[in-house]
Structure 1
Amino acid sequence: MNVGLGLPIADPVSLLEWARRADAGPFTTLGLLDRLVYDNPEPLVALAVLAGATTRVRVQTEVLLAPLREPVLLAKQAATLDRLSGGRLVLGLGVGGRDDDHLASGTDVRTRGRRLDEQMAVMRRLWSGEPYGDGAGPVGPAPARPGGPEVLFGGFRPAALERVARWGDGFLAAAPPSWAGGLFDTVREAWRRHGREGEPRIVAQVNAALGPQDVVDDARASMAAYYEFTGTAERMVSGMLTTPGRIREAIARFEDLGADEVVLYCYGRDPDQVDRFAEAL
């Protein structure tokens, strides 16, 4: 089972230390979330810096809110990062649902799903080297991976799960093992229905913190602030895994469900957690 780390957002400067330690350890991926109207680093810029500071781990948006962005520029940015990192970019995409993000970007929250589908059609075409059209030629550079970087979609609604088979390479599941299995099955069924070869890559996500009580408290406070808009932050924080045993148990359960990777998402800032997670594994 591959295990990645989702990076904390509260202290951008510390992310270089997180990345270097992870690159030297057993981890396969560094993930970074996305918001616009929030005190977090822009993920493509931040991951470009981290890719330059590492040699092995994948860098993954988890998830990038694509409808907030213009698709041609996004395609160019993603291809550039994929090329410069030697094919280590994983583009995790989602639609987002915060009204303030869409207000600030001048996009309509009500049409975000349709916009993402339209964006994917444009980006797949550009990554394949085809011209944009209407008098505009191809948009480079060519990504390291033919056809574009690996694309994973996050979400829970039927349209989001169907999008994996239509446009993607796999699924990002921010759900506990108790109900993630049903999502996995739905994604796999859509994959077969669309005549896709092989299997979608399944990446699960769990929230975790390891360390003294102040580290755990810091992680819980940061996560609660991030999800305050939902009105259910307390319930979500209560599911955070804070012991090595619970983390190993969750990874084992996801492995039994057929997941390919589990990303331990960290909201606590202490980079010593990288070593604690490595020891726990």
Structure 2
Amino acid sequence: MKAGLTRGDYLAWFKRVDEGPFHAISCGERIHGPTYDMRVVLSAAAMATTTLEITPTLYVLPMHSATRVAKEVATLDVLSGGRVNQIVVGYGGREKDYEAVGAAFTGRYGRMDRQVAQMKAIWRGEEVIEGAGEIGPVPTRAGGPKLLSGAMGPKSIARCAQWADGLYAWSGNGEQHELENTFAMMDKSWAEAGRDIAPYRMGGFWYTLADEGQRKLYDYVYEYLAIAGPEIATMMAESVHRSTPDAVARALDNAEAAGCEEIFMVPATAELSELDRLITLLESR
């Protein structure tokens, strides 16, 4: 989510993460701002890495054609050698991103329910247009990858409990109680939906281990949320402080205590020191 990143930056990160003690690599989706396209970045990651799972976090699904997303994800899965085990889908909250791509912001909740059903049908090999045949390619896993929800509120989590395989819970500062509260809503919704399979618990937070990290973390979060206005951007930027090894380690402890089975750490800079110092921290846990 930073301006000015180059091919060299991405290739260096892909190589270092692939060689490190990491499980997966991720990328988010945003239309406005300096970000590169999530789908293209993850396609590059699929070809440049060999061991990592490739996990979109997340597709703002109602902005897209469900058929196109199903085809993209299956293609990414095949090109990665079967490393797209799960993807995250969500509603998104940036109305101007919807407007920019010509998608309706209203009705997105019901639309995503229908889109998920269509994607699953495509991955099962069912026709979308009668007599037109299947839409390929065939995913490496029968029925396609698992679908996690990036929902945050109780109503949206309850909707997703009907079809999701788990939840991506976000806490910008890696706070245990925030993650626990989100997972508690998830557990309640899964039980009310009569689901008999325990939902997967994924989490995420912002961090940095770069020099002058707190300033860089503040700037990153402020720039990321500037579209919401200076008041919200300032409030959120002032709330994050995972910018030292001890602070990052506590956030990891928080995620583990909250029940996260997987945690995505979102760095505030593209400096390779972020990875080198994080690897040292992980090796000491």
Q: TM-score, normalised by structure 2?
A: 0.90
**Following TM superposition, by how much is the alpha carbon of 1:262 offset from its aligned partner in structure 2, in angstroms?**
1.4
SS of aligned partner of 2:133: strand
* CA–CA separation in structure 2 for the residues paired with 1:12 and 1:200: 37
For the 8 Å contact 2:210–2:269, the answer to whether it is kept is no
Structure 2 counterpart of 1:52: 47
Report sequence identity in percent: 30
- Equivalent position to 2:221, from 220, 223, 247: 223
**Following TM superposition, by how much is the alpha carbon of 1:12 offset from its aligned partner in structure 2, in angstroms?**
4.8
Structure 2 counterpart of 1:235: 235
Matched, 1:183 2:182: yes
* CA–CA separation in structure 2 for the residues paired with 1:66 and 1:98: 13
Change (3 A) 1:197 1:188: same
Structure 1 counterpart of 2:251: 250
* CA–CA separation in structure 2 for the residues paired with 1:195 and 1:136: 36
Matched, 1:36 2:31: yes
**Following TM superposition, by how much is the alpha carbon of 1:212 offset from its aligned partner in structure 2, in angstroms?**
0.8
Q: What do the CA deviations read for 1:147-173 (whole angstroms, capped 9, x no partner)?
A: 111221112122321244222221111
The one-letter code of the counterpart of 1:82 is D
Any unmatched runs of 5+ in structure 2?
none
Structure 2 counterpart of 1:72: 67
* CA–CA separation in structure 2 for the residues paired with 1:30 and 1:157: 26
RMSD: 1.7
Matched, 1:162 2:161: no
- Equivalent position to 1:146, from 139, 142, 159: 142
Task: Between the two structures, name the one with larger relative contact order (CA 8 Å, sep ≥ 6).
Answer: 1
Matched, 1:172 2:172: no
* CA–CA separation in structure 2 for the residues paired with 1:265 and 1:52: 21
For the 8 Å contact 1:155–1:161, the answer to whether it is kept is yes
* CA–CA separation in structure 1 for the residues paired with 2:257 and 2:57: 23
Structure 2 counterpart of 1:272: 273
**Following TM superposition, by how much is the alpha carbon of 1:97 offset from its aligned partner in structure 2, in angstroms?**
1.6
The one-letter code of the counterpart of 2:256 is E
The one-letter code of the counterpart of 2:39 is L
SS of aligned partner of 1:166: coil
* CA–CA separation in structure 2 for the residues paired with 1:64 and 1:267: 21
SS of aligned partner of 2:107: helix
Q: What do the CA deviations read for 1:86-137 (whole angstroms, capped 9, x no partner)?
A: 2322311111121211111111112111211111111011011111133332
Q: What do the CA deviations read for 1:21-50 (whole angstroms, capped 9, x no partner)?
A: 111111112111111122211111110111
For the 8 Å contact 1:164–1:187, the answer to whether it is kept is no
SS of aligned partner of 1:227: helix
**Following TM superposition, by how much is the alpha carbon of 1:216 offset from its aligned partner in structure 2, in angstroms?**
4.7
**Following TM superposition, by how much is the alpha carbon of 1:228 offset from its aligned partner in structure 2, in angstroms?**
0.8
Within-5 A mapping of 1:6-25? 8-10=1-3, 11-13=5-7, 14-25=9-20
Change (3 A) 1:234 1:117: same
Structure 2 counterpart of 1:198: 197
The one-letter code of the counterpart of 2:48 is A
For the 8 Å contact 1:219–1:269, the answer to whether it is kept is no
The one-letter code of the counterpart of 1:244 is P
* CA–CA separation in structure 2 for the residues paired with 1:107 and 1:272: 39
Matched, 1:110 2:106: yes
* CA–CA separation in structure 1 for the residues paired with 2:176 and 2:143: 32
Any unmatched runs of 5+ in structure 1?
1-7
**Following TM superposition, by how much is the alpha carbon of 1:205 offset from its aligned partner in structure 2, in angstroms?**
0.7
The one-letter code of the counterpart of 1:139 is I
Q: TM-score, normalised by structure 1?
A: 0.91
For the 8 Å contact 2:32–2:97, the answer to whether it is kept is yes
The one-letter code of the counterpart of 1:146 is A
Structure 2 counterpart of 1:5: none
- Equivalent position to 2:79, from 67, 76, 84: 84
Matched, 1:62 2:57: yes
Size of the aligned set, in residue pairs, is 273
